[in-house]
Chain A
Amino acid sequence: MAGEAQHGKDAGHAAAEHGEGLVFHPFDQFIVKPMFHDGPVGLFTFTNAAFWMLLAVAVIFCVMVLGSSKRAVIPGRAQSIGELLYGFLHKMISDVAGKEALPFLPYIMTLFLFIVTANLLGLLPLSYTSTSHFAVTVTLALAVFITITVVGFVKHGTKFLGLFWVSSAPLPLRPVLAAVEVISYFIRPVSHSIRLGGNILAGHAVIKVFAAFASITLISPVAILGITALYGLEVLVAVVQAYVFTILTCVYLKDAMHPSH
C-alpha cells in the first residue's frame, strides 16, 4: 500500500510539472511517513499512522475513563456519552448475538470505539486516516475471525463443524452446501476488512478529487459545494461503517454460539 502511494506521489508530481489537471494525487494523503522528521520508514519509526492511532486511543481514554471516573448519579457530558454508548452496544449484542454473548461486550465495545474514533479523526483536515489502510483493517478482521473460530470450538467442540453441514437440506445437496459454507466462512475476514478499509479509502479519495476540481476557476463553486456535501456523507459513512463492522462481528459471534442451522 505504501509503495502504491509512493508511486501515486510520483505521478502527482509529474502532473504538477506539466501544469495541468491534478496538482496533487488523491492518494498522497495515505502515505505513511515519519511523524517528526524526514527519512525512511523503518520497523520502529514513529510514523503518522502510529500517531493518529495513539491519538484515537487517547481520545477514547479521555471520554470513557477520565470522563466517567466520577460515577456521578447525574451524569455530566462525557459520562452521558459513555453511558449511551454502553447501552447502545449492550442492546446490539443482546439483540443480535443473544444474552450469552454478553461476556464479549468489552471486546466488541473496544472494536466499535476504536474504529469510530479513528474514522472521525481521519475526517479532520490535514489528518491521516489509519482505518483506510488494509494493514489496520485486516488485523482487526483477523482478530475477530480467530476469536470466533476459537470460541466456536471451545464452546461446542467438533459440533462447531455442524455450521458447515446444513442438516435441514436434502442429503444429496449437503456436500455441495458444505463446500459453499466453507468458502463463505473463510472469505469472511476478507470482506469484513475490505468493506471498512475500502469505504474509507474511496470516500477520502473522492473528497480529494473534488478538491482538485476546486482549483479550476470555472467549476470551483460547484466543487466546493460538492466537498461540503461529501463531508456530510463521509461523517455518516464513518459512523455507519463502524456500526456495520461491529454488527457483523455480532452476527459471526451468533454463528459461533449457535452453530446448528
Chain B
Amino acid sequence: MEGDISSIGAGLAAIGCGLAALGVGNVAANFLSGALRNPSAAASQVTNFFIGIAFAEALGIFAFLVALMQ
C-alpha cells in the first residue's frame, strides 16, 4: 500500500466525494429555504427532496468506488 503512485490517484478520485457533499448541501439548503417561505407546501415536496439528494449523492458514491479500485 505504501509508496504506490496509485494511492495518489485514489486520493484524487476521493475529491469527488467532497464535491458530492456540496451538491447534497445545496439541495438541502434550497429545500429548507423554500420550505420556510411556504411551510404548508413543504410536506408534499419531501419526496422530491429525497430524490434530489439521492441523485446528487450517487455521483459521490461513484467517485468513492473509483477511489476504491485505485
Interfacial residues, chain A to chain B (CB-CB below 8 A):
11, 15, 92, 95-96, 191, 194-195, 198-199, 202, 240, 243-244, 247-248, 251
Write out the residue numbers on chain A whose beta carbons fall within 8 Å of the beta carbon of B65.
194, 198
Q: Contact check: which of A11, A191, A194, A248 meets B1 at CB < 8 Å? A: A11
- Is B62 engaged at the interface, CB distance under 8 Å to the other chain? yes
A253 to B47 Cα, complex, angstroms = 15
Cross-chain pair count, CB within 8 angstroms:
35
- Is B32 engaged at the interface, CB distance under 8 Å to the other chain? no
Contact present for B62 and A240 (CB under 8 Å): no
Contact present for B61 and A247 (CB under 8 Å): no
- Is B31 engaged at the interface, CB distance under 8 Å to the other chain? no
Contact present for A202 and B54 (CB under 8 Å): no
Contact present for A251 and B51 (CB under 8 Å): yes
Contact present for B62 and A244 (CB under 8 Å): no
Write out the residue numbers on chain B whose beta carbons fall within 8 Å of the beta carbon of A247.
47, 50-51
Contact present for A248 and B47 (CB under 8 Å): no
Contact present for B58 and A191 (CB under 8 Å): yes
CB distance from A250 to the nearest CB of B (A): 9
Beyond A194-B65, A198-B65, is A240–B50 a contact (Cβ under 8 Å)?
Answer: yes
A244 to B58 Cα, complex, angstroms = 11
Size bracket of the B interface: 10 to 19
A198 to B54 Cα, complex, angstroms = 12
Beyond A191-B58, A199-B57, is A248–B51 a contact (Cβ under 8 Å)?
Answer: yes
Q: Provide the main secondary structure of the chain A interface.
A: helix
Write out the residue numbers on chain B whose beta carbons fall within 8 Å of the beta carbon of A195.
54, 57-58, 61
Contact present for A194 and B62 (CB under 8 Å): yes
Interface pairs (13), CB distance under 8 Å: A15-B1, A95-B47, A194-B61, A194-B62, A195-B61, A198-B61, A198-B62, A199-B61, A202-B64, A247-B47, A247-B50, A247-B51, A251-B51
Contacting A at CB under 8 A, from B42-70, are 47, 50-51, 53-54, 57-58, 61-62, 64-65
Write out the residue numbers on chain B whose beta carbons fall within 8 Å of the beta carbon of A92.
47
**Per-position contact with A for B1-34: 1 when CB-CB < 8 Å, else 0?**
1000000000000000000000000000000000
The listed residue with most B CB atoms (<10 A of its CB), out of A15, A195, A243, is A195
Write out the residue numbers on chain A whose beta carbons fall within 8 Å of the beta carbon of B54.
195, 244, 248
- Report the nearest A residue to B69, measured CB to CB: A4
A96 to B44 Cα, complex, angstroms = 11
Write out the residue numbers on chain B whose beta carbons fall within 8 Å of the beta carbon of A96.
47
CB distance from A184 to the nearest CB of B (A): 11
A251 to B57 Cα, complex, angstroms = 17
The listed residue with most A CB atoms (<10 A of its CB), out of B47, B58, B64, B65, is B58
CB distance from B53 to the nearest CB of A (A): 8
A199 to B58 Cα, complex, angstroms = 9
Contact present for B61 and A244 (CB under 8 Å): no
A186 to B66 Cα, complex, angstroms = 20
CB distance from B47 to the nearest CB of A (A): 6
